[in-house]
Structure 1
């Protein structure tokens, strides 16, 4: 990615909209999600940063309608994680990616970092941020590249499978049954 990108996703399995801005020069993306998730009205702001190899370096997620409800985590290149107070999060050791359950942007991080060839597959463990609870846990996932612009994503930790249709930069256009990018945004 070379220029700032602005995208909007509509969620199908929960009535939400998200706006996301990707800042490739800063290796950072940020987004706002608003709607209903798990029967709860939610307004969520997130920000994620990565290094030149697409390893997640930090993530901040904040529930806007619940003041003080915030998760901040940071990682080194080896997948050693700490919370916002600097405490080591041992349960996340080895995770190189973050997956925020409310946004398809975080799939881009794994897609870009893995750089799979067509037919290739990889099992990974991510720091998964569940929404709306904002709990963080290690979660097993698998990515399989089916074509130049298609991946099979498997959330092994929850027995979920879906296909992702992506653009040339790895940003999700369609996440089967879950998200669709609002074109022209």
Structure 2
């Protein structure tokens, strides 16, 4: 077993994230606690994600402690998603990766899952989860590698939002300008 710990500060408002990523028996697991203020309300969100060795999400469990609300999703081959009762969520079909609104970590999933070529955009279908109310939907996001040296920079866009995302050599977010900055 190996473990990596990452810590981010939220730049836009007050907040932090502490994440442990473990590699055990050909499985990756992320466990995290995120504390932040949203519209003046303190929030605590915890999540667990289990992946296969290719960074494909298998299970997601997320809890908004402020609302005392949980969400549990699982994924099968080909981007089929299921709720905690085993019922398929057809509206998410085709999405491979997840994007949880309160964390930069989930931006690392497609970055680590795909092979990148500079300047070639990758259009992805993502399961977007709002940490504020645990609602979810499928959204289109586009990542384009624009700089690849010691660190890599991606241009990210989704709907009308665009931003660079800077990652380390292992594909983990160092900086998501004006939103998150990694401290360790």
TM bucket normalised to smaller: over 0.9
1:62-141 matches, cutoff 5 A:
62-67=63-68, 69-141=69-141
**Corresponding position of 1:164:** 165
The 3-state SS of whatever aligns with 1:4 is: strand
Are the counterparts in 1 of residues 10 and 36 from structure 2 also a CA contact under 8 Å?
Answer: no
Q: Which runs of 4+ in 1 moved over 3 A?
A: none
- Find the counterpart in structure 1 of residue 157 from structure 2: 154
1:51 CA displacement:
1.3
Alignment deviations for residues 107-127 of structure 1 (CA, whole Å, 9 cap, x no partner): 111111122122221001101
**More strand, by proportion:** 2
Partner of 1:24: helix, strand, or coil?
A: strand
CA distance in 2 between counterparts of 1:51 and 1:70 reads 23
Provide structure 1 residue ranges, at least 5 long, that are not aligned to the other structure. Answer: none
Task: Give me the whole-angstrom Cα distance separating, in 1, the residues matched to 2:47 and 2:81.
Answer: 18
For 1:162 and 1:72, locate their aligned partners in 2 and report how far apart those are by CA, in whole Å. Answer: 29
Q: Distance in 2 between matches of 1:107 and 1:4?
A: 19
Whole-Å Cα distance in 1 between the matches of residues 4 and 111 of structure 2? 17
Distance 1:172 1:38 in 2: 25
Equivalent residues of 1:55, 1:77 under 8 A apart:
no
Closer, same or farther: CA 40–115 of 1 in aligned 2, 3 Å:
farther
Q: How many pairs are equivalent? A: 179
Superposition deviation, residue 4 in structure 1: 1.4
Q: Residue 31 of structure 1 corresponds to which residue in structure 2? A: 32
Partner of 1:12 in structure 2? Answer: 11
Q: SS of 2:98's equivalent?
A: strand
How far apart, in 2, do the equivalents of 1:87 and 1:138 lie?
Answer: 17
Give the secondary structure class of the aligned counterpart of 1:29. Answer: strand
- C-alpha contact (below 8 Å) 1:80/1:92 kept by paired residues: yes
How big is the shift at 1:14? 2.1
Counterpart-to-counterpart distance in 2, 1:64 and 1:132:
10
Tell me the residue number matched to 1:50: 51
Q: Return closer, same or farther for 1:20/1:90 CA change in 2, 3 Å cut-off.
A: same
**Which residue is equivalent to 1:180?**
181
